[in-house]
A and B are shown apart, each in its own frame.
Chain A
Amino acid sequence: MIQFEHVSFGYPEHGGAVEDVSFTLKKGGVTAIIGSNGAGKSTVSRLMRGLLKPVSGRVLLDGQDIAGMKISTLAARIGFLFQNPDRQICRNTIEEELRFTLRLTVPDPQRREACLKETLEALQLDPQDDPMLLSRGEKQRVALATAMVHQPELLILDEPTTGLDYRECTRIMEYIETFHRKGATVVIVCHDMEVVLDYTDEVIVMSGGHLIRKGETAEIFRDAETLRAASLLPPQMIDLAGRLGGEYSGIARVEEMRDAIVRSRKAVRA
């Protein structure tokens, strides 16, 4: 669906440059982009959305170079959630906010109504609320709604859970997962490795502007060397499983770990 071909980009005066990045994302996957600050994660997400133009190389959407498409027309196909909800909300009510996105992206009026209703229900939003008066977590839900109310094929999220408490974080991620199950492709830039483990099936590891690895999520988290190179810590259960080794090495979740411990105690006793 998305293909990066030897993409390079450099900000004139800031960090966050990327160099010779190539990868392909298949349709219907959930991919995380991980790495430390300044590794180039946000740059990759912006290049993917067409907000930045590569200095060299190409970004292809279904085989077509997006450099030739207008950023505004791409909006119908790609949803994008920015880090800070304060910077993307500008209407008086949630309904106006969502209708604003729909008016620019969905031509069919009946589908517009259906999309609006579905999103309001799924994210439990009151259409008449003033988005400015909501809490940070609620605002983030509104911002997410504006990014995907028109049901784009590709949804890109730049640190969707930063600054949210655990309850809001879970709520937002659950909703993104539901949306993904309906067939959308999702890309998440994320710092929280537990979230990455729970909700994504593939990760791209960035370090110093280079893509250093891409692969299945749990597998990458078991690769201590890659994580060290990207200055990342593994999720706790995977770390623990690695320390225990042997029959535990494939474990990634608390329940699996508990069951494995109970099993081996039984085996020892038998």
Chain B
Amino acid sequence: MIEMKDFSFRYASGKRNALNNLNLTIEDGDFVGIIGNSGAGKTTLTYAINGIVPHHYKGDFYGAVTVNGLDTVDSSPEQIAAHVGSVFQDVDAQMVASMVEDELLFGLENFSVPREEIEGRVAEALEQTGISALRHRDLDTLSGGQKQKVAIAAILALRPRIILLDEPTGELDPQSSEQIYSLLARLNREHGTTIIAVEQKIGLLCRYVKKLLVLEKGEVMLHGPVREVLESSGRMEESGIHVPRIVSLHKELSGLGLVHSSAPVSMDEAETMVREALQ
């Protein structure tokens, strides 16, 4: 569980608080999508969870952030990393090895996972991400989507209870992006892993996550189950935050009093919504 209490942070070089007075809780087993415009504090929020703030980026830290009971200020990034695995947007920058298997070994070796346990963990992580066949391949020969799966597998092997991803599909095409999110949804469903993902592609996000967290200028604008948040799509549109078109249509139709059900997140639901409006 992640808890933030009256949490504010200002970078040493910043003019205003990157995050301002955050009070929020992310429960075990949640799948949260974080959206917001650039400068809203999305990346800073991920840094606050994995301890990069305040351990790597210094600044004015007020309030408290706890991850599974660990206070992030008092714990080292490595201690936090045992609970939270982080995947970054720049796939190439986070790779350390030249072969898939070695990439997975890196973290396992560092955290002194017992030798006899390593083989099992590697095989399992590759299996869960569906890339067992790539085990002995060179990273240079993989596509962007495959590399991102390797990055996720390398984190999975460490068995964190929480996985944090900053725009994991930023450089991927629609099909590979879809694959990454269906993989994350499966991990969340089958293993109860808490997943927190920053994402620009809101349409994609809505189809997979359980909750949305909308940030605006360093503050929480909306936070809750996807459908509840989408009920306020008008507020999001006003702030220039992208809303899927089927949600805009829902807003139009419910404004006219034609539909009363909650906002659709998939095309099937959108079709049902229109049929309801036509009754």
Is the CB–CB distance between A166 and B39 below 8 Å? no
Q: Say yes or no: A38-B143 contact (C-beta < 8 A), given A162-B170, A243-B267.
A: yes
Is the CB–CB distance between A243 and B240 below 8 Å? no
Residues of chain B with a CB closer than 8 A to A237's CB: 245-246, 249
Q: How far is the CB of A143 from chain B (nearest CB, A)?
A: 15
- A61-69, A106-114, A176-184, A261-269: which lies at the interface: A261-269
B172 at the interface (CB under 8 A from A): yes
A243 to B253, CA, bound (A): 18
Is the CB–CB distance between A37 and B274 below 8 Å? no
Is the CB–CB distance between B252 and A254 below 8 Å? yes
Which of A210-242 touch B at CB < 8 Å?
231-233, 235-237, 239-240
Is the CB–CB distance between B258 and A265 below 8 Å? yes
Residues of chain A with a CB closer than 8 A to B252's CB: 254-255, 258
Residues of chain B with a CB closer than 8 A to A162's CB: 170-171
Q: Say yes or no: A135-B175 contact (C-beta < 8 A), given A243-B267, A261-B253.
A: no
Q: How far is the CB of B174 from chain A (nearest CB, A)?
A: 6
A36 to B143, CA, bound (A): 11
Contact with A along B249-263 (1 / 0, CB 8 A): 100110010100000
A235 to B267, CA, bound (A): 11
A240 to B252, CA, bound (A): 15
A194 to B201, CA, bound (A): 11
Is the CB–CB distance between A165 and B278 below 8 Å? no
Is chain A's interface secondary structure helix, strand, loop, or mixed overall?
helix
A261 to B167, CA, bound (A): 36
Is the CB–CB distance between A37 and B37 below 8 Å? no
B144 at the interface (CB under 8 A from A): yes
Contact with B along A29-48 (1 / 0, CB 8 A): 00000001110000000000
Is the CB–CB distance between A236 and B174 below 8 Å? no
Q: Say yes or no: A135-B39 contact (C-beta < 8 A), given A166-B241, A194-B245, A257-B249.
A: yes
Q: Say yes or no: A261-B267 contact (C-beta < 8 A), given A37-B143, A235-B245.
A: no
Is the CB–CB distance between B274 and A240 below 8 Å? yes
B248 at the interface (CB under 8 A from A): yes
Partner of A168, one of B38, B145, B203, B256: B38
Partner of A36, one of B173, B248, B258, B270: B173
Is the CB–CB distance between B249 and A258 below 8 Å? yes
A50 at the interface (CB under 8 A from B): no
Residues of chain A with a CB closer than 8 A to B174's CB: 36, 191, 193, 231-233
Query: Can you name 15 A-B pairs with beta carbons within 8 Å?
Result: A15-B143, A135-B38, A163-B170, A165-B38, A166-B37, A235-B245, A240-B274, A243-B267, A243-B271, A254-B248, A257-B249, A258-B249, A261-B274, A261-B277, A264-B278
Q: How far is the CB of A82 from chain B (nearest CB, A)?
A: 14
Is the CB–CB distance between B37 and A236 below 8 Å? no
Q: Say yes or no: A191-B37 contact (C-beta < 8 A), given A166-B242, A236-B203, A237-B249.
A: no
Which of A245-265 touch B at CB < 8 Å?
254-255, 257-258, 261-262, 264-265
A53 at the interface (CB under 8 A from B): no
Residues of chain A with a CB closer than 8 A to B194's CB: none
B17 at the interface (CB under 8 A from A): no
> Quick one: which of A170, A261, A262, A264 has the most chain B CB within 10 A?
A261
Q: Which residue of B lies closest to A264 (CB)?
A: B278
Q: How far is the CB of A265 from chain B (nearest CB, A)?
A: 6
A60 at the interface (CB under 8 A from B): no
Is the CB–CB distance between A262 and B256 below 8 Å? yes
Residues of chain B with a CB closer than 8 A to A233's CB: 174
Residues of chain A with a CB closer than 8 A to B258's CB: 261-262, 265
Residues of chain B with a CB closer than 8 A to A166's CB: 37, 200, 240-242
A169 to B200, CA, bound (A): 11
Is the CB–CB distance between A37 and B267 below 8 Å? no
B132 at the interface (CB under 8 A from A): no
A243 to B167, CA, bound (A): 31
Residues of chain B with a CB closer than 8 A to A258's CB: 249, 252-253, 256
Q: How far is the CB of B176 from chain A (nearest CB, A)?
A: 7
Residues of chain B with a CB closer than 8 A to A262's CB: 256, 258
A136 at the interface (CB under 8 A from B): yes
A137 at the interface (CB under 8 A from B): yes
Is the CB–CB distance between A37 and B245 below 8 Å? no
A258 to B270, CA, bound (A): 13
